[in-house]
Chain A
Amino acid sequence: DTAVSQTPKYLVTQMGNDKSIKCEQNLGHDTMYWYKQDSKKFLKIMFSYNNKELIINETVPNRFSPKSPDKAHLNLHINSLELGDSAVYFCASSTGQDNSPLHFGNGTRLTVT
């Protein structure tokens, strides 16, 4: 019973393509996130959603468009992929309450060639 699951695990694509990453959580959490981890292991928040509503967009290019069809899902669509988009993307969820820990998915390693 995976708590936060992401698909695909690996994604290799060419510059200019459009791709999507899916995320689902079965923890009953209200808040979901996308984080980007670069080659230096820095973890940067991209988006957060609470009850399907966008709360944070951390100056992410508008080529990145998150979509939350319901509280359990938060997908990430990326248009016109660039080399610099290569990274590991992590989905996470939490209850959204203060002090609640984040539960991360296994990550999607995106490689843009």
Chain B
Amino acid sequence: GQQVMQIPQYQHVQEGEDFTTYCNSSTTLSNIQWYKQRPGGHPVFLIQLVKSGEVKKQKRLTFQFGEAKKNSSLHITATQTTDVGTYFCAGPGASGTYKYIFGTGTRLKVLA
């Protein structure tokens, strides 16, 4: 079945360092979404990418959708302690299934 993998599974960084998580799908995606889950919280939608090669920025966060629409990345510049959490990518399942398949997640810890 369709799988969405993320690497790394865990990442510890010093505050101020950059961070990147990579997302790879076994199938081509019509779009990809990114979510952030704070410790003890619930996933919160960050952004969606639709076009091949698309790049979007939200302040220190840069999101990219691969040319083949099978991979994506999230890069955080100069991490802060507020960036702590688990970052998930999610891709849609087959048309009409009304489902999003979540990646395995990357847990980010920022050391002050």
Chain A residues near B (Cβ < 8 Å): 31, 33, 35, 41-45, 48, 50, 55-56, 58, 90, 94, 96, 98-99, 101-107
Contact = CB atoms under 8 A, between A and B. Distances in A.
Contacts of B88: 43
Contacts of A42: 102, 104-105
Given A31-B98, A48-B97, A106-B41, 10 more contacts: A33-B98, A33-B99, A41-B37, A45-B99, A45-B101, A56-B98, A56-B99, A58-B99, A90-B42, A102-B33
A55 B98 contact: yes
Contacts of B30: 98-99
Chain A interface SS verdict (over half): strand
A43 B48 contact: no
Give the size category of B's interface with A.
20 to 34
Contacts of A90: 42-43
B86 interface: yes
B97 A55 contact: yes
Contacts of A48: 97-99
B68 interface: no
